[in-house]
């Protein structure tokens, strides 16, 4: 009888100690943990990518013969395969428009924008392979497209895999990685602008610096995102109490 009472008291004490355990701290989210400069860079990439696509659509739909000769030569390259260009940039524009509704927590209740990213991303990826055959920057640009486009499709595939498995945290990281890579095309624009502005000093033609600009632009986005992601993960791990 005494043994039974002792066991009952021990069980009650264990129950009380379990109730006294402090709840774990909530994990950090993208919007609360991302620094302001990263959020600004994200929105700048969205705007630049959207503006670049809209400009290309206008140029293809209403070609003009006015402007610097170097820009007219570049426009002629895209006009020579206009159908393929449209097949690439229009899904890319839709992808960019849906990105904020898919990765920001404030729109987390909306599921359809994220679902659309996967088929749109596949179209963008495979048409990018085809577009690389007409690279202005030759094999240097083509190698950048092949490398980062493959990494983009791989990241998108991993995100879909984790989504089907219900591992939402991993899905989110891989989806954001795919988005960061795709938005690298926006970062290449100011890099190209810098090359254009310094042509009088470097004497480089677009065919010579386009490939370099692609490697620089995509690499900046990937390095910045991976650095932030790993820092954010270390902070989350340090705030998660031990079991």
- Cα 56 to chain center, whole Å? 21
Nearest to 160 by CA among 178, 133, 148: 178
Q: Torsion over CA of 108, 30, 153 and 48, rounded to 10 degrees?
A: 100
DSSP 8-class letter at 165 = T
pLDDT at 67: 57
Q: Which two structure tokens, joined as six digits, stand for 15?
A: 């129950």
| Residue 19 burial (C-beta neighbours within 10 Å; 0-12, 13-18, 19+) | exposed
Q: Where are the alpha helices (DSSP H) in 132-205?
A: 138-164, 168-182, 184-197, 199-202
Residue with tokens 């379990």: 18
d(C-alpha 44, C-alpha 38), whole Å: 10
pLDDT at 66: 58
Global pTM? 0.78
pLDDT at 76: 73
pLDDT at 33: 64
Residue pLDDT, tens place only, 112-169: 999 999 999 999 999 999 998 888 888 999 999 999 999 999 999 999 999 999 999 8
CB of 96 within 8 A of CB of 57? no
Could you list the pLDDT tens digit for every one of the 243 residues in the chain?
A: 545 454 555 445 555 444 444 444 444 444 446 788 888 999 999 999 999 999 888 888 887 765 565 666 666 777 878 889 999 999 999 999 999 998 887 777 888 999 999 999 999 999 999 998 888 888 999 999 999 999 999 999 999 999 999 999 899 999 999 999 999 999 999 999 999 889 888 888 888 899 999 999 999 999 999 988 888 776 666 655 544
Angle between helices 82-103 and 69-79 (to 10 degrees): 90
Average predicted confidence (pLDDT) for the chain: 82
pLDDT at 102: 87
Distances (CA, A) of 240 to 31, 101, 153, 243: 19, 28, 32, 9
């Amino acid at each position: 009888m005494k043994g039974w009472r002792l066991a009952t008291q021990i069980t009650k004490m264990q129950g009380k100690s379990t109730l006294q355990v402090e709840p774990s701290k909530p994990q950090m989210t993208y919007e609360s943990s991302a620094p302001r400069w990263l959020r600004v860079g994200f929105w700048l990439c969205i705007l630049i990518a959207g503006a670049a696509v809209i400009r290309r659509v206008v140029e293809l739909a209403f070609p003009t013969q006015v402007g610097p000769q170097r820009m007219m030569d570049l426009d002629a390259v895209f006009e020579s395969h206009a159908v393929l260009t449209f097949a690439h940039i229009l899904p890319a524009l839709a992808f960019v428009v849906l990105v904020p509704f898919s990765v920001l927590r404030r729109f987390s209740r909306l599921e359809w924008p994220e679902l659309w990213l996967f088929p749109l991303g596949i179209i963008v990826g495979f048409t990018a392979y085809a577009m690389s055959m007409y690279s202005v920057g030759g094999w240097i640009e083509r190698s950048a497209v092949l490398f980062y486009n493959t990494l983009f499709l791989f990241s998108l595939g991993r995100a879909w895999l984790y989504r089907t498995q219900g591992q939402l945290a991993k899905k989110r990281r891989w989806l954001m990685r795919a988005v960061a890579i795709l938005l690298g095309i926006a970062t290449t624009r100011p890099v190209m602008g810098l090359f254009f502005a310094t042509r009088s000093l470097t004497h480089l033609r677009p065919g010579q610096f386009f490939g370099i600009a692609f490697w620089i632009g995509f690499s900046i986005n990937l390095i910045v995102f991976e650095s932030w992601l790993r820092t954010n993960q270390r902070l989350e791990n340090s705030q998660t109490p031990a079991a």
